[in-house]
Structure 1
Amino acid sequence: MSDWIKILMGGAATSVLAFATHALTGESYAAGLDDKATAALAASGAAGASVHIAREPSIRRLAILSGDLDDAARSEAKETVSGVSGIAEARWDDEIGSLAKPGIDGLAEAGPSKCQAEVTKAAEADPITFRSGSPYLSPASLRTIDAVAAALKECGSAEVTVEAHTDATGSAAINNSMSQARADGIAAALVERGIAADQLSAKGFGSEKPKVEGTGTAANQANRRIEFTVSGDASDAADAKPEEGE
């Protein structure tokens, strides 16, 4: 086995390990937010209020407040918790009702079609690129991942597959390993930006699914790409009207 292939396989293994580690620490991250939000409340002097982070898969990084406070104190406590880094939103328990209930203001999952459009728009505004033969993510590409993560945070529990593709130049085995390392690296970067690991999967296709046949310059540029495929339960699907006669 050549030194280059050993390096590539090592990079892929590191990416996979990073992604798996993030998946295992999701609960620790939520617990950490619990602690930070509780400390913020205590520092603000909001006696009688408590807070916890929702673990339900359909509502992520939502801080749920409870306690018997007057309106002014409730508003102040909510503002305090909303300002905690890592928390997407804060609500009082009587404002949201059942966490499983769809249609609450701002909490219903976006349908996959809407999410797909927003994620694709974010990804295509400044496409993710890599150094030739490398899974290294440039600062510009990390900014694109920031935008994709922001779009995904509006998608509730929708699942997303990170798909990495290469051109057909070179060894198919190396292309497959490289594309998997790239997909794993992007998934890990999304987890670092607050996307739950259990919403993500990563797949490297190598040159198996070209957009354009051939190995010319134009074909290679088109085929070297990252795509995001959104799927999962959707609130808009529930609202769809059945065809007449069903």
Structure 2
Amino acid sequence: MATKKTTVLILGAALLATAGCAKKRPEVLPPAPGETGTAAPGTGMNDGNVGTGSVPGSAEDFRRSVQSDTVNFELDSYDIDPTARAILDGQATWLAQYPATRITIEGHADERGTREYNLALGDRRANSAKNYLVARGISADRITTISYGKERPLGGSGEAAWAQDRRAVTVVVS
């Protein structure tokens, strides 16, 4: 009887310890990729100056100048493959030109798996991209990461949609 109570207490303590480790969802999520808001006046973005081009060092300039703001991953993977390397090399070159620019790398996963697993996988994907950029000479202080797990799918179900959801997206913050 005493061993049964001891076992129950140990299992209860272990359950409480692991429950405290769960990553909490932020109360307010930033806009999803592709959603655009109105920029502040005078920033050169959305200020009515059609045809003048983007402001150097801006988010628009970044998207226009690099091959892609997104690197994709294989199923259950956060390894940087040759295609991702080429994309991140271009991002690193652009970031080196604008040393005051800060970025956020968003990690994403497809809809399969638990919420907790996908949050952890998205975190590993974002940090994998961050570590690659840091290895290419970009200061880690300029890069923040966030994981959305499976919370922001690009749309649909099926292998083609899931392949697009397995990604890390670089977003210019300032």
Sort the TM-score into its range (normalised by shorter chain).
0.5 to 0.7
Structure 2 gap ranges (5+): 1-54
In structure 2, do the counterparts of structure 1 residues 153 and 118 end up closer, same or farther at CA, with 3 Å as the change threshold?
farther
User: Which structure would you say has the larger RCO, counting Cα contacts within 8 Å and 6 or more residues apart?
Assistant: 2
SS at match of 2:98: coil
Per-residue deviation at 1:162? 0.7
- The reply on whether 1:223 has 2:165 as its aligned counterpart is yes
Confirm or deny that 1:141 pairs with 2:84.
yes
1:208 matched to 2:151? The reply is yes
Contact 1:161 1:203 in 2 (8 A): yes
Equivalences for residues 55-134 of structure 1 within 5 A: 110-118=56-64, 121-123=66-68, 128-134=71-77
Q: Provide the alpha-carbon RMSD of the alignment.
A: 2.1
- Compute the displacement of 1:114 (Å): 4.0
Report the counterpart of residue 137 of structure 2 in structure 1.
194
Q: Is the 8 Å Cα contact of residues 58 and 172 (structure 2) preserved in structure 1?
A: yes
**Contact kept? 2:106, 2:148, Cα under 8 Å:** yes
Secondary structure of the residue aligned to 2:106 is strand
Normalised to the residue count of structure 2, the TM-score between the two structures is 0.61
Using the alignment, how far apart are the partners of 2:60 and 2:75 within structure 1? 33
Change (3 A) 1:185 1:144: same
1:187 deviates by 0.5
Answer whether contact 1:164 1:180 (CA < 8 A) is retained.
yes
Q: For the residues of structure 2 that align with 1:202 and 1:130, how far apart are their CA atoms?
A: 17
1:161-201 deviations in Å (ceiling 9; x for gaps): 01111110122211110110110111011011111111101
Q: Distance in 2 between matches of 1:169 and 1:130?
A: 14
CA contact (8 A) 1:172 1:206 kept: yes
Matches of 2:59 and 2:107 in 1, distance apart? Answer: 21
C-alpha displacement of 1:117: 2.1
When residues 113 and 177 of structure 1 are mapped into structure 2, their CA distance, relative to the original with a 3 A threshold, is closer
The alpha-carbon deviation at position 216 of structure 1 amounts to 2.2
**Cα distance in 2 for residues equivalent to 1:178 and 1:218:** 19
Conserved 8 A contact 1:176-1:204 = yes
Counterpart residue type for residue 97 of structure 2: E
What amino acid sits opposite 2:106 in the alignment? E
1:196-241, Cα deviation, whole Å (9 max, x unpaired): 11110111111111221x4223332332222111022xxxxxxxxx
Aligned residues: 120
| Maintained 8 Å contact 2:108/2:125 | no
CA 1:225 to 1:131, structure 2 compared with 1: closer, same or farther past 3 Å?
A: closer
Unaligned runs of 5+ in 1: 1-108, 233-246
**Is the CA contact 1:166–1:206 (under 8 Å) kept in the aligned structure 2?**
yes
